[in-house]
Amino acid sequence: MNTLIVGAAGMIGQKLANRLTADGRIGEQTLTALVLADVIKPPEPTPANTLDTTCTACDLTQSGIAEQLVASEPHLIFHLAAIVSGEAEANFEKGYEINLDGTRALLEAIRARHEATGYKPTVIFTSSIAVYGAPFPPVIDDEFHLTPLTSYGTQKAICELLLADYNRRGIVNGIGLRLPTICIRPGKPNKAASGFFSNILREPINGQTAVLPVDDTVRHWFASPRAAINFLIHAAGLPRNTVGPRCNMNLPGLSVTVAQQLQSLERVVGSDALKLVRHQPDDSIRAIVCNWPESFNAQRAEALGFIAERSFDDIIRVYLEDDLVRSDQQTK
Amino acid sequence: MNTLIVGAAGMIGQKLANRLTADGRIGEQTLTALVLADVIKPPEPTPANTLDTTCTACDLTQSGIAEQLVASEPHLIFHLAAIVSGEAEANFEKGYEINLDGTRALLEAIRARHEATGYKPTVIFTSSIAVYGAPFPPVIDDEFHLTPLTSYGTQKAICELLLADYNRRGIVNGIGLRLPTICIRPGKPNKAASGFFSNILREPINGQTAVLPVDDTVRHWFASPRAAINFLIHAAGLPRNTVGPRCNMNLPGLSVTVAQQLQSLERVVGSDALKLVRHQPDDSIRAIVCNWPESFNAQRAEALGFIAERSFDDIIRVYLEDDLVRSDQQTK
């Protein structure tokens, strides 16, 4: 199986490429070639492997690029490419260009080949819980409407609709996955409003101080990077036509408060770590976070076999196992 | 108040232009100029009036046209332009070009002026209950998700998301209205799958036979053309910032079965009319119609003062009052 990852230089993209390289297969299907594409050249997957791998720097929004990427008719496409929420909010045009027009260019390039040759790839698209906007019920179910309160969430919701229409028309076998907030993100603290959810764990684990800008009663929806990769691979391995026309879905995750995050930190890493977290309220971050979803009932994805962590202690252990020794490398 | 109607040559557009011309105002606001735009030149509103009216043939999807339409900075824009469901399904590219790219061109032209001059018009956008796709609960509430099963519904849902984002960013004061199925549509029978809902009433009223292609237990969601115009004008007259970020909404309507439609026909017009309706099942139409919504709880729009008919007898009377004498003219 010939596979393309668009957005392969990001955190999820790199982990996915490493995992595919290590596994060499998805379910019953053996991987043959792997193309890793992003605006900056993605790193070679580690550990090195015999899988025929190509790393390419290219911009999906430039004319002809999407056509080049699908010219070899990859069976499986992971479309992860996007600029993040903060950037899409700060730069209106860039957000729509990359997050919407880029996705549309990819789908249109697939449609052109579909019409020419009958090509119909599986397309796994990473959406986000940012497609939701407050007010919410305490637990969001699979049929709650999408009313994003950011341009990023808007762009993701639009791409979901496009994916579903191309899926319904038989042009792609599409699945859109609304990833929970990924925690613990490896690497350095970043300025994303959601960054603190990872910072308050990762930094103390690494002996550094971290700032908590909200009350510890704030509740949010999490899955580990490892769970995210499992979601992508599970989606890619589902038999075609399993999902049907409602091809975009919420995923399992864990709804915990900041206090529960910190209790897990103490249990798994020790009480010294806790002392490195300083509570320093930031009203601007509080105002953003209060519009975020707290919990989901991801019944449908669970029935399809998607699995996330069942305790926040496990989420911390995943970081210790997968990322701790490599944290220096990933900070670049 | 300077007003632009995009898509002014259609059934709703013509009725809206006539009504605005007759009223000369919306709420407290006096109308000054009226620009009627469509791909074919819209007819002059009737009855003739002193309102400064311009009828123009132009294609929103052509470069520079959206910019021309907003160059005079109309305070109020009704965006009704779209190709219909059947055509958007048959012609993928044309559907996306007109129904999505056309809307985006209009919003982008507004954004350009907004950034240059602070321009911020009220934009009333006609969406559709086609944004919903089965399976449904028996009654759809204001928070049910949009999972369209046509490209037309997909395009309308995407435009809703765009409108909400431009609204949230303060570029427009936007309101999106998911019109119920309009019944009784004046004019000749058309080939839309939903056409029979009007045909089985209008044709017998006019002494003609009509075909009913589904069982009379089929239930659907209706409002009259007059109610649709009232929705548009009510939305345009709402004080700014009434609606908030969830600016797209379901509207009140009437949930009735075909049997109830025919009972109303008998009550209002007489039993002879009924004899002109021939039941001739059509499986392809039945298959489409079973994916359509049956009923809504449009609580939010009702709280905002939107009003539809409360009995199907009234819907028939609206046709008799507004369209019967003019049915020959409108069939062109």
CA distances from A137 to A133, A295, A299, B74, B278 (A): 11, 9, 16, 39, 48
Residue A304 lies in a domain: no
Residue B127 lies in a domain: yes
pLDDT at B332: 37
Q: Which of B230, B222, B180 is nearest to B200 (CA)?
A: B222
How many structural domains compose chain A?
2
Residues B76 and B201 in one domain: no
pLDDT at A264: 98
Residues A82 and A210 in one domain: no
pLDDT digits (tens, 9 = 90+) for B10-54: 999 999 999 999 999 998 899 999 999 999 999 999 887 788 999
CB A243 within 8 A of CB A125: no
The pLDDT averaged over each successive group of 10 residues in chain A (332 residues) is 97 97 93 97 88 96 97 98 92 97 98 98 97 96 97 97 98 98 91 89 96 96 98 96 96 98 97 96 89 96 98 98 68 38
Closest partner residue to B133 (CB to CB) among A92, A142, A245 is A245
Mean pLDDT to the nearest integer, B96-114 = 98
Q: How many CA atoms does the CB half-sphere of B241 hold within 13 Å?
A: 1
Q: Which of A132, A152, A166, A319 is catalytic?
A: A152
Residue A32 lies in a domain: yes
Residues B212 and B149 in one domain: no
pLDDT digits (tens, 9 = 90+) for B242-283: 999 999 999 999 999 999 999 999 999 999 999 999 999 999
Least confident interval from A107-116, B1-10, B280-289 = B280-289
Q: Please give the DSSP secondary-structure letter assigned to residue B144.
A: B
**Helical H segments across chain B, by residue range:** 11-23, 65-70, 85-90, 92-95, 102-117, 151-168, 195-205, 225-237, 258-269, 271-274, 283-289, 299-303, 312-322, 327-331
pLDDT at B241: 86
Residue with tokens 């990859």: A74
When the pLDDT of each residue in chain B is averaged and rounded to a whole number, the result is 95
Provide the token pair at A165: 């229409």
Contact with chain A for residue B317, Cβ under 8 A = no
Sign of torsion over alpha carbons B145, B150, B156, B159: positive
Residues A148 and A270 in one domain: no
CA-nearest residue to A147 within chain B is B246
How many degrees, rounded to 5, is the angle at CA B256 between CA B251 and CA B261?
120
ipTM at complex level: 0.96
Residues of A in contact with B143 (CB under 8 A): 144-145
Amino acid identity for residue B103 in this structure: T
Rounded distance, CA B181 to CA B138, Å? 17
Closest partner residue to A161 (CB to CB) among B143, B157, B169 is B157
pLDDT digits (tens, 9 = 90+) for A100-129: 999 999 999 999 999 999 999 999 999 999
Residue A185 lies in a domain: no
Residues B150 and B41 in one domain: yes
Contact with chain B for residue A144, Cβ under 8 A = yes
Rounded distance, CA A140 to CA A147, Å? 13
pTM, entire model:
0.96
Residue A126 lies in a domain: yes
Residue B59 lies in a domain: yes
CB B196 within 8 A of CB B212: yes
Q: Which of A204, A180, A197 is nearest to A309 (CA)?
A: A180
Say if residue B107's pLDDT is above 50: yes
CA distance B136 to chain A (A): 10
Contact with chain B for residue A135, Cβ under 8 A = no
CA-nearest residue to A89 within chain B is B169
Residue B70 lies in a domain: yes
Contact with chain A for residue B144, Cβ under 8 A = yes
Contact with chain A for residue B244, Cβ under 8 A = no
Rounded distance, CA A296 to CA A255, Å? 8
Higher pLDDT, B187 or A77: A77
CB contact (8 A) between residue A161 and residue B164: no
Residues A213 and A90 in one domain: no
Q: A164: part of which helix (H) or strand (E)?
A: helix A151-168
Contact with chain B for residue A250, Cβ under 8 A = no
Provide the token pair at A144: 């709650």
Contact with chain A for residue B119, Cβ under 8 A = no
Residues of A in contact with B162 (CB under 8 A): 154, 158
CB B309 within 8 A of CB B223: yes
Paired with A125 in beta bridges are A79, A176
CB contact (8 A) between residue A158 and residue B162: yes
Residues of B in contact with A246 (CB under 8 A): 133, 147
Closest partner residue to A161 (CB to CB) among B144, B158, B165 is B158
Rounded distance, CA B232 to CA B214, Å? 31
CB contact (8 A) between residue A144 and residue B147: no
CA distance A305 to chain B (A): 22
CB A87 within 8 A of CB A95: yes
pLDDT at A218: 96
Residues A137 and A268 in one domain: no
Say if residue B135's pLDDT is above 60: yes
Contact with chain A for residue B165, Cβ under 8 A = yes
Residues B167 and B277 in one domain: no
CA distance A127 to chain B (A): 15
Give the Cβ contact number of residue A3 at 10 Å. 25
Residues of B in contact with A144 (CB under 8 A): 143, 145
CB B269 within 8 A of CB B316: yes
CA distances from B254 to A241, A313, B48, B139, B311 (A): 36, 53, 34, 12, 7
Backbone angles phi, psi at B142, to 5 degrees: -70, -10
Residue A65: which residues within 8 A CB-CB, separation 6 or more?
A: A58, A59, A105
CA A91 to chain centre: 21
Chain A and chain B share a number of CB contacts under 8 A equal to 58
Say if residue B330's pLDDT is above 60: no
CB contact (8 A) between residue A154 and residue B169: no
CB contact (8 A) between residue A161 and residue B145: no
Mean pLDDT to the nearest integer, B100-118 = 98
Mean pLDDT to the nearest integer, B209-221 = 96
CB contact (8 A) between residue B145 and residue A148: no
CA-nearest residue to B96 within chain A is A162
Mean pLDDT to the nearest integer, B194-212 = 96
Backbone angles phi, psi at A148, to 5 degrees: -60, 150
Residues A145 and A102 in one domain: yes
Share of chain B above pLDDT 90, in %: 89
**Catalytic-residue membership of B96:** no
DSSP class per residue in B42-81: PPPPSS--SSEEEEEE--TTSTTHHHHHHTT--SEEEE--
Residues A74 and A205 in one domain: no
CA distance B167 to chain A (A): 10
Residue B133 lies in a domain: yes
Residues of A in contact with B157 (CB under 8 A): 161
Mean pLDDT to the nearest integer, B80-87 = 92
CA distance B125 to chain A (A): 17
CB contact (8 A) between residue A145 and residue B145: yes
CA-nearest residue to A156 within chain B is B161
CB A94 within 8 A of CB A88: yes
Q: Which of B119, B132, B152, B319 is catalytic?
A: B152
Say if residue B325's pLDDT is above 90: no
Per the rule left: phi > 0, alpha: psi between -120 and 50, beta: everything else, B6 is: beta
Q: Which domain CATH number covers B216? A: 3.90.25.10
Domain extent, residue A319, equals 196-220+254-295+310-331
Q: Which domain CATH number covers A37? A: 3.40.50.720
CA-nearest residue to A96 within chain B is B162
Q: Which of residues 271-300 of B touch A (CB under 8 A)?
A: none
Residues A174 and A317 in one domain: no
CA distance A292 to chain B (A): 15
Q: Which of A148, A311, A154, A282 is nearest to A224 (CA)?
A: A311
Residues A64 and A24 in one domain: yes
